[in-house]
Structure formats: C-alpha cells, structure tokens
Chain A
Amino acid sequence: MEIVYVYTKKRSEFGRQCNFSDRPAELHVDILPDPSLAANFTVRDPCNVTMQCAEEMSEHEVNTERFESESRGINHVEGGWPKDLNPEDMEATIRYRKKVEKDEHYQNTIMQIAGLMEHCSKQNNATDIYQDFFDDEVEEEVVEESEEEPSAKTINVFRDPNEVKRTATSLSWHPDGNHKLAVAYSSLEFQKAPNDMSFDSYIWDIENHNKPEMTLKPVCPLVCLEYNPKDSHILVGGSYNGQIAYWDTRKGSQPVEMSTIEHSHRDPVYKVIWLQSKTGMDIFSASTDGQVLWWDIRKLSEPTERLVLDPSKKWNLDNALGAISLEFETTMPTKFMVGTEQGLVVSCNRKAKTPAEKIVCTYSGHHGPIYALQRNPFFPKNFLTVADWTARIWSEDIKESSIMWTKYHMAHLLDGCWSPVRPSVFFTVKMDGTLDVWDILFKQNDPTLSLKVCDEALYSIRVQDNGRYLGCGSQLGTTTLLEISSGLCTLQKNEKALVSEMFERETKREKILESRHREMRLKERSRSEQSREDEAKDADGEESTEELVARAETEFFHMLEAEKTKERNEEKERDMEKGVCEEKDFQEEHETNGVVASFTRGEISL
C-alpha cells in the first residue's frame, strides 16, 4: 500500500481526552397513547401494494463496422462416402451401393416414394397444365405491341475503374450466352495519353457493374478487341503500337502471344476480325499505315499474307490509304472490304491471282474517315458506312454513289451497326453522346429513336446477337448497356420483302442516274472532240507560238507609239496656250520614262 497523504498533528493540539463516567437513567419525556386520535383512522382491508419484479435493463447503442458480403457458391463434388471408402474406387462404391440396396428399410422407403412419384409423373403425362392455350392470341398481342413507342432503357453502366479515364474504343460480346462484354480501352488522341494511364482492358460480366470480371494486361493499350466466335475463351486485340496480341481467358491476364514489332503494323491497329477457316485461328487486321495483314494466331511472329491499299495498284506504301475499318462476311469468304481514312471504301478479293488484282474497286462519296463498315446481315449486297456527318447505305453494283443516305448531322458520327434481327434497323452513335436508332421502313429522314446516352462523345457501339441489348462505349470509358423495346427487335411481317424492294428501287434509281451521267459525259467528250477537230483545220495556216508572240509584241508597240504621238500633239496644243517651260521639262521626262508613265499621264489628263 502506498502512502498517498501524510497527515500530522502535534500531540499538544489534540485537546483533552474524554473521561466517561456512569450515571443512573433519567426519564425525560413520557408520551402516553391517546385513543381519541384513533378515531381519525380506519382499517383498510385489502391493501394494494404495487411491486415490480423485473430485470433491470439499460439501453446501449452499438454500431458495427460495415459488413461486406459476397455471394459465392460451393461445388460439392462427392457425396458423404464413409471414411474408409475411396470414392474413386469403382468397385468399392458399387459394393457400397449394393449393400444399401439390399437393406429392407431402403426397399420399403423406395416403394413408398415411388408410388408418389409415379402418380405425379402420370399426372404430367396426362395433361400439360401449364401449356399455352392461347398462342394465337398472344401473337396478335405482339402485333399490337409493335405500335407502341419505340424506346430504349439503360440497364447497366460500367465505368472505367481507373483514375485516368480512357476512351472505350471497341466492344465485343461473348459469343455464347451474351452475358459477358469485352471492352478495349485506349486513348486515341495523339500524344495526349498521360504517363500514368493504365493499359488494361476489361471483360465485364453484365450483372456485376462494380468490378470487371477479368482484366487483360497488354503491353500497350488496345484499340480493338474481338472474341473468337468459335472458341469463347480466346480473344484477340490490336494495340496502339501496331502489335497484335491474343489472350486465353483460362490462362490469365497476360497475352499468350504477341506479334513481333518488325512485322506488325506501323500505326495503331484499328480493326481486327476473325476469319472463317477450318482451324478457326485466322485473323486479319487493318491499320492506318495502309496495310491489311493476315495472321495465324498460333504463329504471330509474322503475318501470313499482306496487302497494301494502294489505289494505283503498285503496292507503294507511300501512296497507300490508311485503313480504319474492315468488313468481312462469313458467307462470302473471298471478298472483304476496307474503309479508309480518306473516305473511300475499297472492295478487295482475297483470292486474286496477282497482287495487283487484289483491289477490285473503290466506292467514294464520304468526306472523312469511314469509322464503321458493315454489310446488312439479310442482304449482303448492301452495306452501311458511317463516316463524317452522315451514314450511307450502298449497293455493291453502284460504285459512284450511295443509294441511300442520311442528312448531314450537327455532330460527327463515330460508329454504327445493323441490327442482327431486323433488316431495316441500324444504330449510329454521335460525338455529342446520342444514340440514334434508324428504321428505314418507318422513316428515312430522321432516326426513329434518338437517345442521349451521355454528355461525352460515344465512340463505339455493338449489338448483341439477339438484337435486344446493345452496348456503347464513351470517351470517358463508360460503357452503357441498353435494352431496346421489343418493337425494334422483332421481325415484322413482310419486312424482308419491303426492305429488299426498297433497296432495289434505290439501286435502280442510282443506276439510271449513273447511266445518265455517263451519257452526258460521252456527249461532252464528243462535243469537245468535235470542236478540237474544227480548230485543227484552222491550225494549218497558223504560225508557231514564237511567231505569235513576236507578232503580239510588234502590235503592242505600234499601239503604244500611236498613243504617244497623240499625247504629244495634245501637249503641244496646250503648251501653245499656256507657254510654260515646266511643261516642256515634264514632256521630256515623260518621253524618257516610258510607256507606263505616258499611259497614266494620258489617263489623268484625259
């Protein structure tokens, strides 16, 4: 025990001690009971006394830390075999099973529940109680529904998880099931990419917008990304530095293989498409350096084939057009089309015998780079191009102009695609962040539906195979998943026939215009040829050019002389009137000064 405080007092200050002594008891007061006071009181019976026997409680408030929960599933592989039994051992398991089967209890139970089961099974076979009885009417309802307003609503928004936002330049849907979306992120602005910008691209699961399902870590940001339609684990990406890389989602985030820099493109690879081949491993890629390269995924060290987009067919890289988009239809494996930076669409044949014949023809009509190029899935002869401020529909046969086009918009159109279920519907996205849905059977001048998806520019759009969902990527890396109303994704009756009629009509119109133009040109040419013939007849008596020049000179000087003499005569007359010496000096001066001065003086005096 520690001494906390010491209290001291001197003994002399204590005072005298107490001395106690005994004394007999004394009665001081004796109060006797007064019965009259009892009259003021009555007996109360019963008495109510309240009591409480309860636990004492006190109130507290507690706040726990935020609880984060995640849903996980556990896959239980094998049942609860007894400890001494190895589940892999077939014999042991069979023996165990037989033992259970012999058990009497088992048999009784089985017979009982089998009875129940039989009853239900027979019930199922008797009538299908959940069958759709009014299928026809349901169809009619669908027709009514199609008159509803076309609409689209946002289902989910996937944001770029990094601090520095990059543009979502390309989207690709998972080939089976469509529940995953691969998005490629990069910054397309020249040299504006900040140093700490991440290179990753993500694969998102549609249900979960908080975190991407998988990250792909390339060496350089990816500009385009495509799933292999045959093998859903393989993706190929074209990167900003021109290399091609491919990933296997089973093997992790790093690319399985990358193409060698020497044989790759010299500019960002803007589009990569999988080819239809026996191995399912062929791709081809296009870039603004003017080359289209074919690769086999398994051997990315060098391309299998090369095409230079030189319109003069001389394979001169300096002349080549930069390619921004590619088009390949699996039903026509030998042909493909390239959309260029210069606004031309080049149609090429892969199986041409000589390299010069690879480029079949070009279609011109756009003013700017062709960002999207796609054939109509129902009518492969017609294709859609999206460039500058318009979207145009072309027919393969008419090379001079498109057969249908939209009006010039206020903002650049950056990407577009056809709907895979309806031949008359296509989608475009613009630089002001709007998504337009066009239905050419309904309205040709304006989009059927125009939605503002976000404030920044939308760079890419991709529709799912069922035509119902589409994803669009924006400049700040936000990918929006939209669902469009059923009217826009169900095939209407006669739609194919109507659309094919429309395309044919427009094609015919263009053909007629083309032939008229040709006629007019022929006429012009013949007229100019005729006039040249007439001139040729006169030309026999004409001198050569030098003589012509000499003649012109002499004529000119003659004219000057005539003017001068006329001037001088006039001056002399004036002098005679005025008689001033200065005039004479002036005259001398102006004689020596030359032609120009005399002319000007002549004009002034006149």
Chain B
Amino acid sequence: MCDYQKCKHWGGNQDYTSTRNKRKTHLCCDMAEVEDTLKRIQGYNGVIGSIVVNAEGIPIRTTLDNSTTVQYVGLLHQLTMKARSTIRDIDPQNDLTFLRIRSKKHEIMVAPDKEFLMIVIQSPTE
C-alpha cells in the first residue's frame, strides 16, 4: 500500500492523489488498492463472481463470462433502480444503501452508487 514517500513508487514522474483518506497516495497505488480489494472480495468463501458496472451498463470489471455478465447487469440495474425509487417514494429523505437477493441457489448482493454498481454473487456456506 502507499504511504507516499515510503512507497516504492516514490520518485520519478508518478502522479499522486491527495483526496482519499486525506493522505497523499500515488495514483498507481490507488489502482493497486482497488485491485486488491476486488480480488479479496472475489476470494471470499463461496463467492461465485463479481461485477463492477458503470451507469451506462458497461461492465468495467467482471469475473464471469460476457453473456452472463450482460444478463446480470441488465436485470439488476433495473431492479436496483426500482428498489431505490421504492425507498425514496416512501420517504424522500431515505436512500438505498444495499440490496440483497437471496435465492435457493445463491445470494446476489448489489451495492449501488450514483455512478457505479457492484454486484457479487455468493453461494451459502454448506
């Protein structure tokens, strides 16, 4: 991980960002952190696949094959929008933070954001 001056990327023309955690970190280290996080999530017990999508429906990152990814994205995006509008209709101050769909075979977890969407499919520990 980055600690800016202590990081191995220090020196040279490395870009940095200073917003995250109010500490300066290299851009490349940021990316590495993101990679690590995603890899860690994928590595958890029972996780079948994970997908990161942007607002237009383009899968940025996915561990499943294209057709499955596209199917999940299309369907879950609509569902998330519907869930969010439901929450907000009931109470406009409220907002959707997480969506979990439990089915016979596995659980689909959706973490929504204004621009992106993270979908993780995990099967129960048995």
Partners in one complex: yes
* A113 interfacial contact with B, CB 8 Å: yes
Determine the chain A residues whose CB is within 8 A of the CB of B126 once the complex forms. Answer: 128, 131
Q: Please tell me which stretch of A74-82, A167-175, A296-304 contacts chain B, meaning at least 4 of its Cβ atoms lie within 8 angstroms of it.
A: A74-82
Nearest to B107 among chain A residues (CB) is: A124
Contacting A130 at CB < 8 Å: which of B46, B112, B116, B124?
B124
For the complex, give the distance between the alpha carbons of A101 and B31 in Å: 7
Place the interface of chain B in its size category.
Answer: 35 or more
* A279 interfacial contact with B, CB 8 Å: no
Determine the chain B residues whose CB is within 8 A of the CB of A78 once the complex forms. Answer: 70
Contact A107 B116 (CB under 8 A): no
Contacting B122 at CB < 8 Å: which of A105, A112, A116, A124?
A124
Knowing A76-B74, A117-B41, say if A108 contacts B120 (CB, 8 Å): no
Nearest to A127 among chain B residues (CB) is: B125
A74-106 CB contacts (< 8 Å) to partner B: 75-81, 96-97, 100-102, 104-106
Closest Cβ of chain B: how far from A124's Cβ, in Å? 6
Nearest to B104 among chain A residues (CB) is: A130
* B14 interfacial contact with A, CB 8 Å: no
For the complex, give the distance between the alpha carbons of A104 and B31 in Å: 9
Determine the chain A residues whose CB is within 8 A of the CB of B58 once the complex forms. Answer: 79-81, 96-97, 100
Determine the chain B residues whose CB is within 8 A of the CB of A102 once the complex forms. Answer: 27, 31
* A58 interfacial contact with B, CB 8 Å: no
A116-172 CB contacts (< 8 Å) to partner B: 116-118, 120-122, 124-125, 128, 130-131
* B7 interfacial contact with A, CB 8 Å: no
Closest Cβ of chain A: how far from B57's Cβ, in Å? 4
Interface of B is mostly: mixed
B25-67 CB contacts (< 8 Å) to partner A: 27, 30-31, 33-34, 37-38, 40-41, 44-47, 52-54, 56-61
* A114 interfacial contact with B, CB 8 Å: yes
For the complex, give the distance between the alpha carbons of A111 and B126 in Å: 29
* B113 interfacial contact with A, CB 8 Å: yes
Contact A114 B37 (CB under 8 A): yes
Contact A100 B54 (CB under 8 A): yes
Determine the chain A residues whose CB is within 8 A of the CB of B112 once the complex forms. Answer: 113
Contacting A105 at CB < 8 Å: which of B33, B73, B115?
B115
With a 10 A CB-CB cut-off, give which of A77, A106, A112 has the most chain B CB atoms.
A106
Knowing A114-B38, A121-B41, A125-B125, say if A107 contacts B98 (CB, 8 Å): no
Determine the chain A residues whose CB is within 8 A of the CB of B71 once the complex forms. Answer: 75
Closest Cβ of chain A: how far from B112's Cβ, in Å? 8
Determine the chain B residues whose CB is within 8 A of the CB of A80 once the complex forms. Answer: 56-58
Residues of A at the B interface (CB closer than 8 Å) are: 75-81, 96-97, 100-102, 104-114, 116-118, 120-122, 124-125, 128, 130-131
20 cross-chain CB contacts under 8 A:
A97-B61, A101-B34, A104-B17, A107-B30, A109-B115, A109-B116, A111-B20, A111-B33, A114-B34, A117-B111, A117-B118, A118-B40, A118-B41, A120-B98, A120-B109, A121-B44, A121-B47, A122-B44, A124-B107, A131-B124
Q: A80-B57, A102-B27, A112-B113 are in contact. List 18 more A-B contacts (CB 8 A).
A: A79-B53, A79-B70, A96-B58, A106-B115, A107-B20, A107-B30, A109-B115, A110-B118, A113-B116, A117-B120, A120-B100, A121-B41, A121-B47, A121-B109, A124-B122, A125-B125, A128-B126, A130-B102
